[in-house]
Structure 1
Amino acid sequence: MSKVLIIEDDLSIGEMMSIYLHEEGYEVKRAENGRQGEALFLEFIPDVIVLDIMLPDANGIQLCSFFRNASNVPILMVSAKNDVSDRVRGLQTGADDYLCKPFSMRELAARVQALLRRAHTYPPVPGPVGTAVMTEQAVHLDIEKRCLYVHNKVIDTTFSEFEIMKLFWQNQGRVYSREELLNRVRGFDSYVTERAIDVHIANLRKKIEADPKDPKYIKTVWGVGYKFFV
């Protein structure tokens, strides 16, 4: 049974989410503030986190950063703020998806299911052998261990960043449009814009490129999208 941690200060919304996800077959714990959320995160060890961006005792963006630095657990951020800038900021911090209030419980369950499916299911993709062998190459990907290496040093990635790198690694040289990357990483049921892909690509370049402004590995194909090769 997958475990879902809900961090939501609104009692009615929090209870509604908890009851619905429980009826969908998840083990659910709910925190009413950031402090409780941190404690349950360490105690409960959730498979996915549903995080409200506005909490009475904590900044949801900062809390998201705390979770991301500690784990690669998928994070679904929820908020009444629906500006593009707010969604981009959440994704930049490490959230894997962003759901704007008000939303239906059915959509919430679909988002949670999609995040869990992508976190635990890795369908084979034609291309080079999936698991990287450590060599003298600067960038390596170990798909089985879900580890990204740069100069033999493990680099932390968000769930979405790793999924993009996995797709690139298995299909080196192929050009992907933003729409293709978005559909691959998030699925067709996620309400985010293609701008999110640009954010993830920028973050990946900061992590693997010696000069992110003049990338060697993740190349922009103007008017089309991105490609990767080592």
Structure 2
Amino acid sequence: MTKILVIEDEKIIGEMISMYLTDEEFSVYRVENGQAGIEAIRSYVPDVILLDLMLPDIDGIELCEQVRKSSDTPIIIISMNSKVNERVRALNAGADDYLVKPFSMQELKARIGVALRRYRPSVAEADTRSYIAAAAAPEMAVPDHGITLDLQKRLLIVHSQPVETTFSEFELMKLLFQYPGRVFTRDELINTLRGIDSYVNDRAIDVHITNLRKKLEHNPKEPRFIKTVWGVGYKLNLE
């Protein structure tokens, strides 16, 4: 059963979310402050975290950053604040999605589903992911190619040198590293970023890939790693 941790100090909202998700056959654990949330992440080990930004003991952005240093568990922000700069702050802090209150419970369930799909590969795909994890956890490294992803620090390292990436670029690179050789359609890549970049589209994906090539490739115009599959999308070539 999927485990949801709700960190929400408003009792009515927290209980409504908990009741709805329980009825939808999720396992739900709710706490009312940040410290209890940190303890619950360790003991309850949730599959998804729903995090309110206005907590009585700690700023939600700070808590998000703290969690992201040691965990890749999906974090969905639930907040009354609809300002763009606040959404950007949350996403830059490591949040995977952002829902503005009041929101539809059906939409919340759908957003949880999207977050889970990003972090739960199919059984066939899991073999590839397990191979990578066994080879280089907590890093994803490509032998003899000089490219490493440090998941905890969210760093792309090329020939031992850290390379700056945007949040979206890192998410794309992480997905490609998990499944080398697999061709991803633009729609699949868009779905990976949906919630991180509200304006993501085909053109945005192409721009992200172009920027990654500039950071990875010796000759970006003749890419060795991120290959275009014409009429379909992109893949990471490690051969």
- Normalising to structure 1: TM-score of the pair? 0.68
* Residues 126-205 of structure 1 aligned to structure 2 (within 5 Å): 134-140=142-148, 150=157, 163-169=171-177, 181-186=189-194, 190=195, 192-194=197-199
* Deviation of 1:168 (Å): 4.0
| 1:105 alignment counterpart | 105
The one-letter amino acid of 1:49's match is I
Q: Secondary structure at the match of 2:216?
A: coil
Structure 1 unaligned segments of length 5 or more: list them: 221-225
Task: Give the Cα–Cα distance (whole angstroms) in 1 for the partners of residues 56 and 156 of structure 2.
Answer: 38
The alignment-based identity, stated in percent, is 41
Task: Give the Cα–Cα distance (whole angstroms) in 2 for the partners of residues 176 and 215 of structure 1.
Answer: 22
* Deviation of 1:116 (Å): 1.4
2:7·2:32 contact (CA, 8 Å) conserved in 1?
Answer: yes
**How has the CA–CA distance of structure 1 residues 84 and 123 changed in structure 2, closer, same or farther, with 3 Å as cutoff?**
farther
1:182·1:194 contact (CA, 8 Å) conserved in 2?
Answer: no
The one-letter amino acid of 2:57's match is D
* Deviation of 1:47 (Å): 0.8
Q: Secondary structure at the match of 2:6?
A: strand
The one-letter amino acid of 1:105's match is M
| 1:34 alignment counterpart | 34
| 1:118 alignment counterpart | 118
2:149·2:155 contact (CA, 8 Å) conserved in 1?
Answer: yes
Task: Give the Cα–Cα distance (whole angstroms) in 2 for the partners of residues 167 and 124 of structure 1.
Answer: 15
Runs of 4+ deviating beyond 3 Å: 122-125, 129-134, 147-153, 159-163, 166-172, 174-177, 195-198, 216-220, 226-230
C-alpha RMSD over aligned residues: 4.3
2:33·2:55 contact (CA, 8 Å) conserved in 1?
Answer: yes
The one-letter amino acid of 2:215's match is P
1:6·1:31 contact (CA, 8 Å) conserved in 2?
Answer: yes
Q: Secondary structure at the match of 1:81?
A: coil
Task: List per-residue Cα deviations over 1:2-47 (Å, max 9, x = no partner).
Answer: 1110001111000000111111111111111111111111111111
**How has the CA–CA distance of structure 1 residues 86 and 180 changed in structure 2, closer, same or farther, with 3 Å as cutoff?**
farther
Task: Give the Cα–Cα distance (whole angstroms) in 1 for the partners of residues 124 and 236 of structure 2.
Answer: 18
The one-letter amino acid of 1:135's match is P
Higher RCO structure, 1 or 2 (CA under 8 Å, sep 6+): 1
Structure 2 unaligned segments of length 5 or more: list them: 136-141, 222-233
Task: Give the Cα–Cα distance (whole angstroms) in 1 for the partners of residues 79 and 144 of structure 2.
Answer: 45
| 1:12 alignment counterpart | 12
* Deviation of 1:194 (Å): 2.7
Aligned: 1:76 with 2:73: no
Task: Give the Cα–Cα distance (whole angstroms) in 2 for the partners of residues 75 and 7 of structure 1.
Answer: 11
**How has the CA–CA distance of structure 1 residues 191 and 19 changed in structure 2, closer, same or farther, with 3 Å as cutoff?**
farther
2:6·2:50 contact (CA, 8 Å) conserved in 1?
Answer: yes
| 1:223 alignment counterpart | none
| 1:24 alignment counterpart | 24
